Amino acid sequence: MTEYADGSVVDGVHYHQFDIVIVGAGGAGMRAAIEAGPKANTAVISKLYPTRSHTGAAQGGMAAALANVEEDNWEWHTFDTVKGGDYLVDQDAAEVLAKEAIDAIYDLENMGLPFNRTPDGKIDQRRFGGHTRDHGKAPVRRACYAADRTGHMILQTLYQNCVKFGINFFNEYYVLDLVMVSDGFGGQKPAGVVAFELATGDIHVFQAKAVIFATGGFGKIYKTTSNAHTLTGDGVGIVWRKGLPLEDMEFYQFHPTGLAGLGILLSEAARGEGAILRNSEGERFMERYAPTIKDLAPRDIVARCMALEIREGRGAGPHKDYVYLDITHLDPAVIDAKLPDITEFARTYLGVEPYTEPVPVLPTAHYAMGGIPTNIQAEVLSDNTTVVPGLYAAGECACVSVHGSNRLGTNSLLDINVFGKRAGNSAAEYVKTAEWVELPEDPAAGVRTLVENARNSNGTERIAIIRRELQESMDRNAQVFRTEESLTEVTEVIHNLRERYKNILVQDKGKRFNTDLLEAIELGFLLDLAEVVVYSARNRKESRGAHMREDFPTRDDVNHMQHTMAYLSGDPMSADAGDHIRLDWKPVVVTRYQPMERKY
């Protein structure tokens, strides 16, 4: 074991020392930093400039039972979260989410977030899919919002407050490894992380008592996605490669209203303000599927209904491969005031005038319900119950399971604020008494090998082509509808692409902002995570939430009312098909709501 001084450079590797290191500068990471920063020496590491993080793309709102517009309470919110997640939600976590939502909104308001207001000055609220009053009797206005730029406003507000608190940011540093050492009790705990500086190509080791992962999702395993190009699941992939489990990876949400052919998101806020989904015949088809809340049914239900309309020949357009989102009946003043970005996207990317024309839409890969398993204190778990001391996760990369098998709209911005705050507080409390952990000899060795092997790759396979074939196969075989046959096909595609990945070509051999090298490394994480998604989906022989198995079309509470836990048990680059992934189950926490039929 070797001790490295803070700020030293040894064999070209830079060493830093912080009590708490947060990986990711989106909403969850910065919310954690605001809690941790005033209490402990804290650093936030991000491969993007913080205000470019994907939280900024969230449009519609953040749920909280404020009851500013109509009667509401946190218990109804809890019920909607559990029912919307098709009863795979851990109900203790859902109660925390709904109870602490109100303080989370007021925290942001006090930080300066400019929410839309009612005429009497209260925070305004709008309807959103799956949110109801009195346990499902009618839609309720629960989403607090800032036009259709809520995520953008949250990101800017959090960053301004991080600056106020003097948080240390390391921007455009790409974390590629988590350094783990023995905890003295047969387990492991973190000693820090290793990052690659994009501007110079230098490697940096950040020694820490506690590490928080807040790295977002991995939507780029799909071709048609609302996710930014950078959402390649790096944090989830790093944890996976360290031998820690991933939970409920088969559940990937497809948002109903992506721009047809592009996947760019049109927020559910449009339907919250009264937009209507119509088929080629002009019919408001959701009235047939969800007669009570119609177009504001949970996202998994709406996405499947859209896909069925298209399958049954009622799709619109020259190829009958999309449906319409119609806001032509809304007052243009309301549209301009509450949905400015949505309408501009339709004009810019499709050349459609939403005042007078319906907008072509199709489901788009949007959100990972699964990820790094945590408890309600945001502590990472090494199995169903064992905490990894000093390691935390929050936001989309984590699975505390408040979303179960289908996340309700506006619960994601809530999740990052509630559990980001909890992660920051938990880490700050932990480091008060935790001792410094010595780094192993040459902690950067693994990253140095990874980077140099990729940089020196001189094969014949193009990174972009492998990525495209992966994404197209995932779109074709593991999207809204799945079967054993389709999942087997994409499994074989992934195994083939893994072999081809060994023979990639990285043309840029430079060190400064080498995006060719960056995409080669990201592709490795995408292959890992796509494989876990597919194996988990093959193993769940039922339909629940966002996981629709056409060969097992009903929900099976007897055998599958439990979380999937996936473990890496071998080298995926050398193992035969399947023998490097072990699957197990974890009980769902049920407190007050027993599974029932999802009627809307």
Under a CB-based contact definition with an 8 Å cutoff, are residues 387 and 380 in contact?
yes
Both tokens of 436, joined, read 């410094």
The verdict on whether residue 412 carries a ligand-binding annotation is: yes
Confidence of residue 574 (pLDDT cuts 50, 70, 90): low
The verdict on whether residue 29 carries a ligand-binding annotation is: yes
The verdict on whether residue 396 carries a ligand-binding annotation is: yes
3-state helix, strand, coil in the chain (%, to 5): 35, 25, 40
The verdict on whether residue 51 carries a ligand-binding annotation is: yes
**Three-class SS of 74-94:** HHHHHHHHHHHCCCCCCHHHH
- Which of 208, 211, 203 minimizes the C-alpha distance to 14? 203
Question: Which pairing describes strands 398-399 and 481-482: parallel, antiparallel, or unpaired?
Answer: unpaired
| 4 vs 205: CA distance, rounded Å | 10
The verdict on whether residue 274 carries a ligand-binding annotation is: no
Q: What is the mean pLDDT of the chain?
A: 94
Q: Is 299 a catalytic residue?
A: yes
List pLDDT tens digits, range 486-508: 999 999 999 999 999 999 999 99
Q: Phi-psi category of 498—alpha, beta or left, where left has phi over 0 and alpha has psi -120 to 50? A: alpha
| 399 vs 172: CA distance, rounded Å | 26
576: pLDDT strictly greater than 60 = no
Q: Three-class SS of residue 525?
A: helix
The verdict on whether residue 99 carries a ligand-binding annotation is: no
pLDDT of residue 248: 98
Arithmetic mean of pLDDT, 291-298: 92
Confidence of residue 342 (pLDDT cuts 50, 70, 90): confident
Confidence of residue 363 (pLDDT cuts 50, 70, 90): very high
Arithmetic mean of pLDDT, 367-373: 97
| 242 vs 281: CA distance, rounded Å | 52
The verdict on whether residue 547 carries a ligand-binding annotation is: no
Which helix (H) or strand (E) segment is 364 a member of?
strand 359-368
The verdict on whether residue 28 carries a ligand-binding annotation is: yes
pLDDT of residue 556: 96
| Of 271, 299, 304, 455, catalytic | 299
pLDDT of residue 564: 98
Confidence of residue 317 (pLDDT cuts 50, 70, 90): very high
| 255 vs 275: CA distance, rounded Å | 15
Confidence of residue 480 (pLDDT cuts 50, 70, 90): very high
Which residue segments constitute the domains of the chain, with CATH numbers given? Answer: 15-62+90-119+144-251+367-431 (3.50.50.60), 252-366 (3.90.700.10), 444-587 (1.20.58.100)
